[in-house]
Amino acid sequence: MDSSLIQTLFNFITNNIFAIIFIFAAVEVFLIVKMFLMMKKHEGVLLDVSDNLLKGFRDAPDRDSEQMINERIQASLDYIHRKISEDPTIKPDFAKNASKIIQRPLYQRHYKIEIYASIMSTLVQVFPLLGILGTILAIAQTAFQSGGQIDVSTLSNAFVLAMDTTILGITFSILFMVIESALQPKIERVINESNDFKQIVANVNMVH
């Protein structure tokens, strides 16, 4: 490959390394906000779905306003599991309720949450790599510009750039790692609740 092309590429990335890091940070913020809103909407839909599955059952658990939304969903799912295990003959009643539920948007949102969570987790690991990339590019650019003769001022500028990109990359990585660790239990809970719902629907629809 032409060395001039490599040098041009190195110069472009080096000159824009801070912008690249901030773009990745903006994408991560977008994913966090999008994930939070999707999970909030998904839990609301799951609660409505759980209520629809319980229609017609007089001993269904009451909706307690003091309970958190995930506790109400879990109470409904536990009730359905228990009822089916105790009396499999009531499956047709649950199946009748399940047939009225539009499942596709719910499943699509569930998969989006999994995809967004995976991308969000991957980006957290990208920031330190961007910092290291900035260090390597700064050194490479210095070597290209000096033609192998590195003076003190050029090396000093490269060192400052390398340190700044490394510090920025690590700072963003720590910040988003903390945010992700706070969101992760909720993400796992929503995914588990969705899987429970899918298993219940599949179970009640297996009526002979």
Do the Cβ atoms of 162 and 134 come closer than 8 Å? yes
pLDDT in tens, 145-196: 655 565 666 667 777 878 888 899 999 999 999 999 998 888 888 888 888 7
pLDDT for the residue numbered 23: 94
Residue 85 buriedness (CB in 10 A; 0-12 / 13-18 / 19+): exposed
Residue 172 buriedness (CB in 10 A; 0-12 / 13-18 / 19+): buried
The answer to whether the predicted template modeling score (pTM) of the entire model surpasses 0.85 is no
Q: 15: closest CA among 186, 194, 138?
A: 138
Q: 137: closest CA among 26, 27, 20?
A: 20
Estimate the share of the chain in helix, then strand, then coil, as percent rounded to the nearest 5: 85, 0, 15
pLDDT in tens, 29-64: 999 999 889 888 888 878 777 777 777 777 777 766
